[in-house]
Chains A and B, each alone.
Chain A
């Protein structure tokens, strides 16, 4: 038995003879979507860049929830740590070189991942979920209290990143930030695909499906989960730092329970345990949010509710997981 119920909704790995082919297609689709987004929505690049940052958060959540089966409603702690670290580095310590800010965000996210992993993994099932909620509230409160550095509830502003590579200014239209985000996303995605296919990635998938079997193989469940939490933290931290670089402000909402819960909703919507579902879920959720909440904020919540109920009841593997399953069945039914 797996440790959590969320994990049962994970998409099954699709078994193809040439897995790299699928990833090359995946990367091609991301790049095409990125280019399409750039030309179709030139006035919405800021939103698209925010979607990329949140995608990194949802990818990071997929590592611990989809692959390892850890239930958490506190994952924004890792994202927020990256955002604040990058912001504070720029405002307080004058480190405004964008790549350094991203690096600092990744490290801070990894540290936050270590801390929250150590706390959350002490519990199982419901206790784990409650601990994760406690973690996000503690992070939120810490950022609120440390207002000298974080700006407290006013948010941290005045982040002014240098031009990228000394060449590309972060312009008003957000073109540089968008391109920067896409490159970061593709890099992270490639590394994560390698990771989830590695022996360590297999071990983590094993932990989600049967931790007792894993320990009966002589592997350490706890140490592997903590390692994955640290990696996950680095990924979320990059997302947070990207958000700080592109919006040039960091608010307490980045460290909020709402942000954590929405990330989980996006993951469930898209489908956990494949990385691809994280993309699909984030785009669908945030795009709908953008379109519908602009028209009517009340309807937005109704639609989220209806969407979630539909997906959980009728497509428990998420949008991507269900589509992948259908494609697999279709491929099998053909001779």
Chain B
């Protein structure tokens, strides 16, 4: 199967510190990939590099065979590459309703319209409500985001990504900050994503990783040290060593 998303020999250093060392990765349509690794391994940096929020020292990023390495973040999104942020980035004075509607309108090329109102667009309203219900945010739809709990803001991050209907979705620790009792909402949302969407999820909660991922990639000190099935990852000697380097107990936490 041909790759929808390819990263070739990506490198990045911050003032002499090599944070991304020659990382190559490709994903096919429908992939469910978990990217794990100790803190500081360079996972977020990887996402920032491929989405254009940081400039790599070298390397290429391709979407559906097209080189998007020179695209700015906006054009990469338009090419179908969407990310969520590890630390929530939302509009604190706007409501969940407005956030999701704006994402839908943007996807449909209607965000520049000046004389309309999304409340009067039945299709946008229906889709927006559906997405908010999926993430159990319906009751908070009209509360400014600055006034809702952080865990719920995390869910809204995912709602935005869903509303953009990407081809490749990169989720940076979507469950971080979400109360454990609510992670099922994230799993529900992930389960509703289209089958042909390629999803890469950075996650520390290994239960979530094992339920979600068909494939696990381990990044340690800027290098991919494992790429294989969830079953094999805990048995892998290099992975154990990488985690033992930063944690006393391998396997139990990531």
* Chain A residues near B (Cβ < 8 Å): 10, 12-13, 15, 194-195, 197-203, 205-206, 209-210, 212-213, 215-221, 224, 227
Contact = CB atoms under 8 A, between A and B. Distances in A.
B169 interface: no
A217 B105 CA distance: 10
Q: Name the prevailing secondary structure of the A interface residues.
A: helix
B90 interface: yes
Given A194-B115, A203-B102, A216 B51 contact: yes
B106 A213 contact: no
Given A197-B117, A198-B113, A205-B94, A217 B89 contact: no
Contact of A12 (B53, B93, B107): B93
Nearest to A273: B93
Interface stretch (B77-85, B130-138, B173-181, B213-221): B77-85
30 contacts: A15-B143, A194-B115, A195-B115, A198-B116, A199-B102, A199-B105, A199-B113, A199-B117, A200-B112, A201-B114, A202-B98, A203-B102, A203-B106, A203-B112, A206-B94, A209-B91, A209-B94, A210-B89, A210-B90, A213-B91, A215-B73, A216-B51, A216-B53, A216-B77, A217-B102, A218-B74, A218-B78, A218-B106, A218-B107, A218-B164
A199 B118 contact: yes
A203 to B, nearest CB: 5
A331 B142 CA distance: 16
B142 A15 contact: yes
B51 to A, nearest CB: 7
B114 A217 contact: no
A203 B102 CA distance: 7
Nearest to A194: B115
Q: Name the prevailing secondary structure of the B interface residues.
A: loop
Contacts of B72: 215
Contacts of A13: 93-94, 144
A18 to B, nearest CB: 10
Nearest to A1: B89
B112 to A, nearest CB: 5
B168 interface: no
Contacts of B113: 198-200
A213 B117 contact: no
B116 A220 contact: no
A209 B92 CA distance: 7
Interface in B40-87: 51, 53, 72-74, 77-78, 82-83, 85
A107 to B, nearest CB: 18
Nearest to A207: B91
